[in-house]
């Protein structure tokens, strides 16, 4: 059992959890993730280690409520427990000093990006962060990102803060203006990562993406997380989750994300019925 030490609401439906997991905290590196199972009946879901502190033995997970399990996790409070947390998983990102690294974060992508940006900042790379979200409220971890970036630019889809438009437009602007970029790291929704790769490709700028396919074990045993990279099948949980974005078959991955759409909807309905038992059709307590 893993204790939740602190919970913070970062934005509507985005919550940060500080979790006591000393063994994982001691080994975590930027790019690592964990697999979490909330309780006996729970699904195993992968979550990035957004921050870690070996001294206090904690890891931070930032979770966006998108369905059954993340919604249930959002209801947990400090002092409560998560049944299973395993990690650190995945291949940590290879980070060495470069002249200029540009981070492109879409929505929740900021969370996985933060430890990588911090590391680059610490070793002396110039860090530029381009952070986008649907609206101002969903721009999370701003203060932390500003501390580890030499320059931060924002965009919102609705224009409520920063550039009015997509975050990839900020990236395009930079490249068009002739900025010398050593590498781009893009993390966010698949369509956003694909768009970022399309922007950088003509400029020949190396672009790393962090993929989020559907996982089960997270240890290379099931193949649920397979993606095609450079024409080869890779298992994201052990070979990734970071890959050279120009080689990723995004179309295939986007299709694979939808494998269980109908079931996910059903699971969510079943869950909301369970937490709102006054609904008439609920017969769960009638034998």
Ligand X SMILES: Cc1cc2nc3c(=O)[nH]c(=O)nc-3n(C[C@H](O)[C@H](O)[C@H](O)COP(=O)(O)OP(=O)(O)OC[C@H]3O[C@@H](n4cnc5c(N)ncnc54)[C@H](O)[C@@H]3O)c2cc1C
Pick one of ligand FES, another protein, ligand X, none as the site partner of residue 259 (Cβ within 5 to 8 A by kind): another protein
Give, as ranges, the residues between 196 and 235 that touch ligand FES (CB under 6 A): 215-218, 220-225, 235
Pick one of ligand X, another protein, ligand FES, none as the site partner of residue 84 (Cβ within 5 to 8 A by kind): another protein
CA distances from 255 to 141, 190, 251 (A): 30, 11, 6
Beta bridge partners of 34: 47
53 in contact with another protein (CB under 8 A): no
257 in contact with ligand X (CB under 6 A): yes
24 in contact with another protein (CB under 8 A): yes
257 in contact with ligand FES (CB under 6 A): no
Question: How many beta carbons lie within 10 A of that of residue 245, not counting itself?
Answer: 24
88 in contact with another protein (CB under 8 A): yes
Question: How many beta carbons lie within 10 A of that of residue 205, not counting itself?
Answer: 20
Q: Is 264 helix (H, G, I), strand (E, B) or coil?
A: helix
Cis peptide before 227 (omega within 30 of 0): no
109 in contact with ligand X (CB under 6 A): no
d(CA 168, CA 174): 10
Stretch of 104-112, 139-147, 157-165, 264-272 contacting another protein, by CB under 8 A? 264-272
99 in contact with another protein (CB under 8 A): no
Question: Torsion-angle region of residue 188: left (phi > 0), alpha (psi -120 to 50) or beta?
Answer: left
For residue 43, the minimal CB distance to ligand FES (Å) is 12
Exposure of 123 by Cβ count < 10 A (0-12 exposed, 13-18 middle, 19+ buried)?
A: exposed
Residue with tokens 């979490």: 36
Under 8 Å between Cβ of 9 and 73: no
Binding site for another protein (CB under 8 A): 23-24, 27, 37, 41-44, 68-69, 83-89, 216-217, 219-224, 226-228, 233, 238, 252, 255-256, 258-260, 262-264, 266-267, 270-271
Contacting positions for ligand X (CB under 6 A): 33, 43, 45-48, 62-64, 66-71, 108, 111-112, 212-215, 241, 257, 264, 268
Binding site for ligand FES (CB under 6 A): 215-218, 220-225, 235, 237
């Amino acid at each position: 059992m893993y204790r939740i030490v602190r919970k913070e609401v970062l934005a509507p439906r985005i919550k940060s959890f500080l979790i006591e997991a000393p063994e994982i905290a001691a080994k975590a590196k930027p790019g690592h993730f964990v697999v979490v199972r909330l309780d006996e009946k729970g699904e195993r879901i992968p979550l990035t280690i957004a921050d870690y502190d070996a001294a206090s033995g904690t890891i931070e997970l930032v979770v966006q409520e998108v369905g059954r399990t993340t919604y249930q996790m959002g209801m947990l409070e400090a002092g409560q427990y998560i049944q299973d947390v395993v990690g650190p998983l995945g291949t940590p990102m290879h980070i060495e000093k470069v002249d200029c690294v540009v981070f492109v974060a879409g929505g929740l992508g900021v969370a996985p990006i933060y430890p990588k940006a911090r590391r680059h900042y610490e070793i002396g790379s110039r860090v530029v962060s381009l952070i986008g979200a649907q609206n101002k409220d969903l721009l999370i971890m701003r203060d932390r990102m500003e501390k580890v970036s030499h320059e931060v630019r924002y965009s919102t889809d609705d224009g409520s803060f920063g550039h009015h438009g997509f975050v990839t437009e900020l990236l395009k602007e930079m490249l068009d203006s002739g900025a010398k970029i050593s590498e781009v790291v893009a993390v966010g929704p698949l369509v956003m990562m694909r768009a970022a790769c399309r922007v950088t490709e003509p400029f020949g700028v190396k672009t790393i993406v962090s993929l989020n396919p559907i996982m089960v074990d997270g240890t290379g045993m099931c193949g649920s997380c397979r993606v095609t990279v450079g024409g080869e099948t890779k298992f994201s949980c052990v070979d990734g989750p970071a890959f050279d974005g120009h080689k990723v078959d995004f179309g295939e991955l986007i299709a694979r994300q939808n494998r269980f759409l109908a079931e996910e909807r059903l699971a969510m309905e079943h869950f909301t019925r369970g937490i709102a038992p006054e609904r008439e059709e609920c017969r769960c307590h009638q034998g």
